[in-house]
Structure 1
């Protein structure tokens, strides 16, 4: 009997890649964890850990040699992230990879309000030109991230207005990715927009968080100018643009459409914010 070719999972030291790696390990699937910091990789049965840096084509080719299927979790947010992604994709093609499953962003477009969604579009374009079979998993904003928007005084502040966001739980993204990785051929060429089961305003999110935690949590709508002023000096300009456009993309209605991709891929409903918070206890 032929030995199954390991699935390569990148980003396994992070929240999303680590979740995917654990799901595959639970299924007894052999895998390679291609990570920048091997000492931080989870120790999982059936998983080999290899050093890999998206910006280093030689390391990528070595880590992916002989692989058929690769999960490419998008790299850290840096000014040269698209260049790093292109290096990784080119090296994957050179290494003879058959297919690449890329974790992109919901509604990726060259004109997206959320600035980092434009980076994902540029990566997708390079993938389309690479000759690799691809699957695009475009996740909406992380549902897990909404409670982190609450500042120390219990207020979520940003220029989101009454816009709605169909945020999706990281556990649901990971389950969808694992389902694709376990049987990738039927999904080749597909694009999945991954969302939660509902689109909520940040005011509704604040009320849900308050009900779950017992603390006072509210939402304060800001102007764009107020948003920039309140974050001035905290990061470089490109990162400030990304932070503020998180909210303005919601206000523009670009993140409000709910899809059934998560239940179709995983066989169960996507989690709501209330369910996520209850799960956390």
Structure 2
């Protein structure tokens, strides 16, 4: 283990932060690649290094001597795919041996969810780089589901009767750590990280309502309704398309399908939406 040079991106965010904390708790040394080292978590055995995905030279310098890289996707923006490609190129040039990339469930060139196409393109760029790779394809984050509920207690979106196998950040992070601790075992593997069940948004709404003791429902918007209700935010077209296509991807069945990959990687059954909501209710 001593010769394994690990680099972790996204440590100031939710998922990367969990991964970095878990590695530190296990006594694993790591390099935290962050835009602002002052914001990096202070963890034993962790060294923060300034780096940005789109800045090829700093990224290459920050990755010198790294054998295994944990790469979360860049913040959502219009140029995200270009940022990913630049960072992957920097990693290859720096001599990184293995990239563990956090991708998206059903990533494909023709995926309904627009950002899943970018994840697929990133995967292809990693494959072409010559580095070893492992892809963790996450379903939707279950922690965000109750935040989709409007002030009026309604989840709105054109998702129809489609299902999503929502998964928790904790389960994704545990799966990532398992891979990072012995990456050679997972070389060339793609994992679908899902929760233990696939639910419709109506079922999710009912579950939230039951656990939180309120009336929550799902309204299946038409596409024109979906675009109209999101127009008020003044977001750029690509962002609105991403928001709306999250729901249409569910409607198309592209987020359906429960995988046992989380349990195979971590030895633990993934948490369900209900279990997560009940644990949150217990905290307050």
Paired position in structure 1 for 2:19:
20
Residue 260 (structure 2) aligns with: 260
Encode CA deviations 1:134-190: one digit per residue, 9 max, x unaligned. 000000111111111011111100000111000111100000000000011010000
Q: Is the 8 A contact 1:4 1:30 kept in 2?
A: no
The Cα of 1:212 is off from its aligned counterpart by 1.4
Cα offset, 1:262, TM superposition: 0.2
**In the alignment, structure 1 residue 251 sits paired with structure 2 residue 251:** yes
Structure-2 residue corresponding to 1:134: 133
Q: TM-score, normalised by structure 2?
A: 0.97
* Corresponding residue of 2:162: 163
Offset of residue 3 of structure 1:
3.9
- Cα distance per residue 1:229-268 (max 9 Å; x no partner): 0011411000000000000000000110111000000001
In structure 2, distance between residues paired with 1:150 and 1:4 = 47
Query: Are residues 1:70 and 2:64 paired?
Result: no
Does the aligned pair in 2 maintain the 1:6–1:29 contact within 8 Å? no
CA distance in 2, matches of 1:94, 1:216: 54
- Superposed displacement of residue 218, structure 1: 1.0
SS at match of 1:136: strand
Return structure 1 stretches of 4+ with deviation > 4 angstroms. Answer: none
SS of 2:85's partner is helix
* C-alpha distance in 2 between matches for 1:202 and 1:37: 38
State the match for 1:48 in structure 2. 47
User: Does the aligned pair in 2 maintain the 1:163–1:201 contact within 8 Å?
Assistant: yes
Mapping 1:170-249, distance limit 5 Å? 170-234=169-233, 235-249=235-249
Cα deviations across residues 70-119 of structure 1 (Å, max 9, x unaligned)? 00001111111000000000000110101000000011000000000000
CA distance in 2, matches of 1:217, 1:6: 47
Which 5+ residue runs of structure 2 have no aligned equivalent?
A: none
Give the 3-state SS of the residue equivalent to 2:163 in structure 1: coil
Q: Distance in 1 between matches of 2:3 and 2:44?
A: 15
Cα distance in 2, alignment partners of residues 82 and 264 from structure 1: 30
Q: How large is the Cα RMSD of the aligned pairs?
A: 1.0
In the other structure, the counterpart of 1:277 is 277
Return the alpha-carbon distance in structure 1 between the equivalents of residues 5 and 27 of structure 2. Answer: 11
Q: Distance in 2 between matches of 1:51 and 1:263?
A: 34
TM-score by length of 1: 0.98
Q: How many angstroms apart in 2 are the aligned matches of 1:108 and 1:198?
A: 20
Unaligned runs of 5+ in 1: none
Distance 2:113 2:269 in 1: 27
Distance 2:50 2:215 in 1: 45
CA distance in 1, matches of 2:216, 2:41: 35
Secondary structure in 1 matching 2:145: helix
